[in-house]
């Protein structure tokens, strides 16, 4: 336990055990937060105290130094317990994971300075001490197409001015800071960079999130009008966003795949529970639905675990990146299909508000919609199957 009352995780096993220990509480509160469309504050108080916000912080800074597969194991558990909580956690993890896993040598080779590396370490240390971060990339109309962002930044002396409006910012208003993607003003070609913007002056949250599923993610709109110091530019290099999307797709494309496999697992388990309670297990058609769902969830899980193994063993290779895109496609499609089938298996009573399957169905529906959407993942994999370069071969830019 640190002086801040936050547990210090000594191993990946401890992190997974913490997630398993907290899961019943998350699961118990999920209906309440969904019903009210509220940020799951108690869940995050517990995740913070358990030390899970520092999962990716390297050992040299006093953290656990988790690998990608360690994160996936935790996210599968959290997603099974409470999808929205796992999704907000995923945004924090994708930012801290990307910061922690980009080698210093690569940052320097791209032109990053010692000042940028020190700024990165300060953010990771803050996460270890319980700070929670959000990702503010998407915009209304533009979605996650980085090259078309309307949020811009400009240099002002050795500082930056950043202005724009973001949408779908999970955790908005409840986090300590935002990773904001912005386009360089007055440049013809899209130069898209990441900035760290602390919550506070110049950051205005508009409580706009009222959605079909993942209602408890507080994914509100956020307007930014801020002056930032030079070291707010992450990596210390402009133009990193589009490059990272291609070479480290696990953070942008697939880190939430584990969340949605968790949600699909919960839908299957909940349907089996309700079928047992209601004596529906005697129906062959219902058993077949459960059986198919079991196989589909297991296949999606294996896909996600295989992608995680590949990311840790050989990050950025074409094979690894295909595994990453495959995992996102499988997770999004399987979650939606399994939750829909489980709702139908149990029948109309499962569609009533208050039935856990109704909530899981709505949450599961969101996986395929998050970028890269299932259609976009399938296009990437289709191009690769045709022997084309899946990054360069698409007619429409993906980012
Ligand atoms: C629950 C939830 C939480 C979220 N949290 C965050 C968050 O914390 N931070 C954040 O930045 N964003 C977040 N998002 C936003 C999300 O990541 C997307 O940016 C957003 O859903 C894009 O929405 P859009 O309506 O613009 O659709 P688009 O993604 O633009 O899609 C519209 C249609 O066009 C298709 N399409 C899109 N691009 C291509 C292409 N290149 N080629 C072919 N077809 C294409 C899609 O498949 C889809 O059919 C969240 C979304 C959800 C649902």
Task: Check whether residue 283 and residue 364 sit in a common domain.
Answer: yes
Task: Check whether residue 202 and residue 149 sit in a common domain.
Answer: yes
Task: Check whether residue 127 and residue 149 sit in a common domain.
Answer: no
* Cα(242)–Cα(367) distance, integer angstroms: 22
Give the model's pLDDT for residue 1.
Answer: 66
Let me know if residue 281 belongs to a domain. yes
Distance 369 CA to ligand 1 centre (A): 6
Q: Is the peptide bond before 143 cis (omega within 30 degrees of 0)?
A: no
Task: Check whether residue 186 and residue 260 sit in a common domain.
Answer: no
- Nearest ligand 1 atom to the CA of 136 is 11
CATH number of the domain where residue 66 is located: 1.10.540.10
Q: Choose the final residue of a domain: 239, 260, 283.
A: 239
Let me know if residue 257 belongs to a domain. yes
Distance 142 CA to ligand 1 centre (A): 8
- Nearest ligand 1 atom to the CA of 399 is 41
- Nearest ligand 1 atom to the CA of 88 is 8
Give the range of the structural domain holding residue 267, as residue numbers without chain letter: 248-385
- Nearest ligand 1 atom to the CA of 135 is 9
Q: Choose the final residue of a domain: 216, 239, 262.
A: 239
Reference 216, options 34, 45, 79; nearest CA is 34
pLDDT tens per residue across span 135-175: 999 999 888 888 889 999 999 998 999 999 999 999 999 99
Which residues on neighbouring strands pair with residue 203, listed in sequence order? Answer: 224
Domain total in the chain: 3
* List of residues 6+ apart from 383 with CB closer than 8 A: 389, 390, 393, 394
Distance 387 CA to ligand 1 centre (A): 27
- Nearest ligand 1 atom to the CA of 397 is 41
Helical residues (DSSP H) of 175-224, grouped into ranges: none
Assess contact for 391 and 246: CB atoms under 8 A: yes
Give the model's pLDDT for residue 123.
Answer: 97
Q: Is pTM, for the whole model, over 0.85? A: yes
Task: Check whether residue 139 and residue 153 sit in a common domain.
Answer: yes
Helix axes 356-364, 257-277, angle to 10 degrees: 160
Give the model's pLDDT for residue 56.
Answer: 96
Instruction: Kindly report the protein residue whose alpha carbon is nearest to atom 9 of ligand 1.
Output: 169
Instruction: Kindly report the protein residue whose alpha carbon is nearest to atom 50 of ligand 1.
Output: 168
pLDDT of residue 396 exceeding 80: no
Task: Check whether residue 266 and residue 333 sit in a common domain.
Answer: yes
CATH number of the domain where residue 233 is located: 2.40.110.10
Distance 24 CA to ligand 1 centre (A): 31
pLDDT of residue 218 exceeding 70: yes
Helix axes 257-277, 68-81, angle to 10 degrees: 40
pLDDT of residue 393 exceeding 90: no
Give the model's pLDDT for residue 110.
Answer: 83
Task: Check whether residue 187 and residue 219 sit in a common domain.
Answer: yes
pLDDT of residue 95 exceeding 90: yes
pLDDT of residue 249 exceeding 80: yes
Share of the chain above pLDDT 90, in %: 82
Rg (CA), the chain: 21
Give the model's pLDDT for residue 399.
Answer: 81
Give the model's pLDDT for residue 106.
Answer: 84
Distance 150 CA to ligand 1 centre (A): 15
pLDDT of residue 232 exceeding 80: yes
pLDDT tens per residue across span 307-359: 999 999 999 899 999 999 999 999 999 999 999 999 999 999 999 999 999 99
Assess contact for 53 and 131: CB atoms under 8 A: yes
Task: Check whether residue 90 and residue 215 sit in a common domain.
Answer: no
Let me know if residue 183 belongs to a domain. yes
Reference 399, options 256, 188, 244; nearest CA is 244
The first and second tokens of residue 61, run together, are 């800074």
Give the model's pLDDT for residue 240.
Answer: 84
Distance 221 CA to ligand 1 centre (A): 14
Helix axes 12-36, 83-101, angle to 10 degrees: 140
Give the model's pLDDT for residue 131.
Answer: 98
How many other C-beta atoms can be found within 10 angstroms of the C-beta atom of residue 28?
11
Distance 368 CA to ligand 1 centre (A): 9
* Cα(355)–Cα(226) distance, integer angstroms: 44
Distance 55 CA to ligand 1 centre (A): 27
Task: Check whether residue 24 and residue 65 sit in a common domain.
Answer: yes
Give the model's pLDDT for residue 164.
Answer: 97
Instruction: Kindly report the protein residue whose alpha carbon is nearest to atom 25 of ligand 1.
Output: 143
Let me know if residue 397 belongs to a domain. no
Give the model's pLDDT for residue 246.
Answer: 77
CA angle, residues 337, 341, 343, in degrees to nearest 5 = 120
The CB-side HSE value for 368 (13 A sphere, CA atoms) comes to: 16
pLDDT tens per residue across span 188-213: 788 999 999 999 999 999 999 999 99
Decide which of 117 and 251 is more confident.
Answer: 117
Instruction: Kindly report the protein residue whose alpha carbon is nearest to atom 16 of ligand 1.
Output: 370
Task: Check whether residue 122 and residue 162 sit in a common domain.
Answer: no
Let me know if residue 258 belongs to a domain. yes
CATH number of the domain where residue 312 is located: 1.20.140.10
Pocket test for ligand 1, best of 82, 88, 143 (most atoms within 8 A of CB): 143
Reference 68, options 273, 251, 329; nearest CA is 251
3-state secondary structure 333-392: HHHHHHHHHHHHHHCHHHHCCCCHHHHHHHHHCCHHHCCCCHHHHHHHHHHHHCCCCCCC
* Cα(373)–Cα(378) distance, integer angstroms: 9
pLDDT tens per residue across span 42-53: 999 999 999 999
Q: Choose the final residue of a domain: 191, 216, 239.
A: 239
pLDDT level of residue 96 (50, 70, 90 thresholds): very high
Let me know if residue 392 belongs to a domain. no
Let me know if residue 83 belongs to a domain. yes
* List of residues 6+ apart from 183 with CB closer than 8 A: 146, 147, 149, 150, 151, 152, 153, 190, 191, 192
Task: Check whether residue 157 and residue 125 sit in a common domain.
Answer: no
Q: Number of helices (H) and strands (E), helices first, in the chain?
A: 13, 7
Distance 210 CA to ligand 1 centre (A): 16
Pairing, β 177-184 against β 152-156: parallel
Task: Check whether residue 105 and residue 205 sit in a common domain.
Answer: no
Let me know if residue 196 belongs to a domain. yes
Distance 314 CA to ligand 1 centre (A): 28
pLDDT level of residue 273 (50, 70, 90 thresholds): very high
First to last CA, the chain: 41
Mean pLDDT of the chain: 94
Strand residues in 199-326 grouped as ranges (E): 203-206, 220-228
Instruction: Kindly report the protein residue whose alpha carbon is nearest to atom 31 of ligand 1.
Output: 143
The first and second tokens of residue 14, run together, are 């401890």
- Nearest ligand 1 atom to the CA of 373 is 47
Distance 144 CA to ligand 1 centre (A): 6
Q: Which residues line ligand 1 (CB under 6 A)?
A: 87, 91, 134-138, 143-144, 168-170, 214, 217, 219, 366, 369-371, 373, 375-376, 379, 396, 398
* Cα(149)–Cα(219) distance, integer angstroms: 18
* List of residues 6+ apart from 233 with CB closer than 8 A: 116, 160, 193, 194, 195
């Amino acid at each position: 336990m640190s002086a801040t009352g936050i547990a210090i995780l000594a191993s990946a096993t401890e992190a997974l055990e913490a997630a398993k220990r907290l899961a019943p509480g998350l699961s118990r509160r999920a209906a309440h937060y969904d019903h009210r469309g509220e940020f799951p504050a108690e869940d995050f108080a517990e995740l913070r105290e358990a030390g899970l916000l520092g999962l990716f912080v390297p050992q040299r800074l006093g953290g656990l130094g988790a690998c990608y597969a360690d994160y996936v194991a935790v996210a599968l558990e959290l997603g099974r317990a409470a999808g929205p909580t796992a999704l907000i956690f995923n945004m924090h993890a994708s930012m801290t994971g990307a910061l922690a896993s980009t080698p210093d040598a690569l940052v320097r080779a791209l032109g990053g300075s010692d000042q940028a590396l020190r700024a990165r370490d300060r953010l990771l240390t803050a996460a270890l001490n319980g700070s929670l971060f959000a990702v503010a990339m998407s915009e209304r109309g533009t979605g996650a197409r980085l090259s078309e962002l309307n949020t811009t930044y400009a240099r002002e002396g050795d500082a930056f001015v950043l202005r724009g409006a973001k949408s779908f910012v999970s955790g908005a208003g409840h986090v300590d800071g935002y990773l904001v993607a912005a386009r360089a003003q007055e440049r013809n070609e899209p130069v898209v960079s990441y900035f760290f913007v602390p919550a506070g002056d110049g950051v205005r949250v508009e409580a706009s999130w009222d959605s079909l599923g993942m209602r408890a993610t507080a994914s509100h709109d956020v307007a930014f009008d801020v002056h930032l110091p030079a070291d707010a530019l992450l990596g210390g290099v402009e133009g990193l966003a589009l490059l990272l999307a291609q070479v480290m797709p696990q953070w942008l494309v697939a880190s939430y795949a584990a969340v949605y496999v968790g949600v699909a697992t919960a839908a299957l388990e909940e349907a089996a529970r309700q079928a047992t309670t209601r004596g529906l297990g005697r129906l062959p058609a219902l058993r077949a639905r459960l059986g198919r769902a079991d196989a589909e969830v297991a296949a999606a899980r294996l896909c996600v675990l295989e992608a995680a193994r590949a990311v840790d063993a050989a990050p950025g290779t074409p094979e690894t990146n295909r595994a990453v895109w495959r995992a996102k496609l499988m997770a999004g499609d399987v979650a939606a299909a399994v939750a829909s089938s489980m709702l139908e298996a149990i029948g109309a009573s499962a569609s009533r508000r208050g039935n856990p399957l109704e909530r899981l169905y709505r949450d599961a529906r969101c996986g395929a919609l998050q970028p890269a959407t299932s259609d976009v993942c399938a296009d990437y994999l289709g191009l690769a199957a045709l022997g084309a370069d899946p990054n360069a071969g698409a007619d429409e830019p993906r980012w």
